[in-house]
Structure 1
Amino acid sequence: MYAVIKTGGKQYRVQPGDVIVVEKIDGDAGAAVNFGEVLMLGGDKGVTVGAPLIDGAAVAATLIETRKGEKIKIFKKIRRQGYRRTNGHRQMESVLRITGIEGAGEKAKWDGKVELITKAEINARARGLAPRVEAVEAEAPKAKKAPAKKAAAKKADAAEGAEA
């Protein structure tokens, strides 16, 4: 199931589990956010389009982080007058994890766990540079079991040496 929501003067197509970056929303990290401005819903029963909004539809999200966006440079120049001015700006933005969509007789929930991770890690994951959390957790128990096997192998070697 998916929905099209409106926030900050822009429209976003979202599904449960998506991470989106929108204009700044008030709240602390981990706070629940609800969007009532749902313009369209799509799911198993087909597409429902609002006129302009769908009554009773809502999208639930969790606020992961509020941060500054990428730097924008503003450069002004008047030729042959020696006038040059450079300024910069960084817009505040919020990172959200969509946790649920409901409306038009349907509900969709995201079953995962919302983790509050940093901007650097989000960007690295988006580019495929950071290892997935599940892969790191799967490797950790293997590393713990390996020394136990080595210790058992040393004991067996010692026992064989004692028999000879």
Structure 2
Amino acid sequence: MTRIQKYVAVAAVAAALVGAPTVSYAAAQGTAAHGTVAHAPSARIAAPGEHVTGAPGFELWLTAEGKFWTTPWDAEPQFRSVVDGNIDLGRPGVSLQAEGDQGHYVLSGLYYGGKGTASRVAVRTSAGTVHGELLELAGRPGWGVWYATADVPVGEEGGFDAFRSVTVHDTRGRVYSQLKLN
């Protein structure tokens, strides 16, 4: 094979691997199942204003100004700004909005300012750890949104006291940003 043919062959195999689904999520952390390529999960990229369903009745959408969302309990859009000066995109941070009824919650928040590429989110609750999804606008705006659902015991504060921490990890497994609550 000529050198150009080898490069073309390598590029074709790489393109096929990037587009192929993997089963590495089922393997133990840091390892891949036999015969698969381990890829770190990444944020879903959304167009400005594109509605994403996080759970039945729970929708999120992003614009350059911030995060919008509706819940099954409140169809009126809510908003969290990333441009009003209330957050410092240059410092790692993550927020939490929890809305629910009788122990069932839809959770979401902003994440921003961490080093590396955000890859996954874990919410520690009194009932265990919940893993969520990440959503970002195209073009690397320096922030994104995470979302999840959780079922937790209803306590003295109606269940809100069940949330312990929100941790966003990067593609290398390091902490990108973290919020400690209880």
Q: Same fold (TM over 0.5)?
A: no
| TM-score normalised by the chain length of structure 2 | 0.23
User: Which of structures 1 and 2 has the larger relative contact order (alpha carbons within 8 angstroms, sep 6+)?
Assistant: 1
| TM-score normalised by the chain length of structure 1 | 0.25
**Considering only CA atoms, is the larger Rg found in Structure 1 or Structure 2?**
1
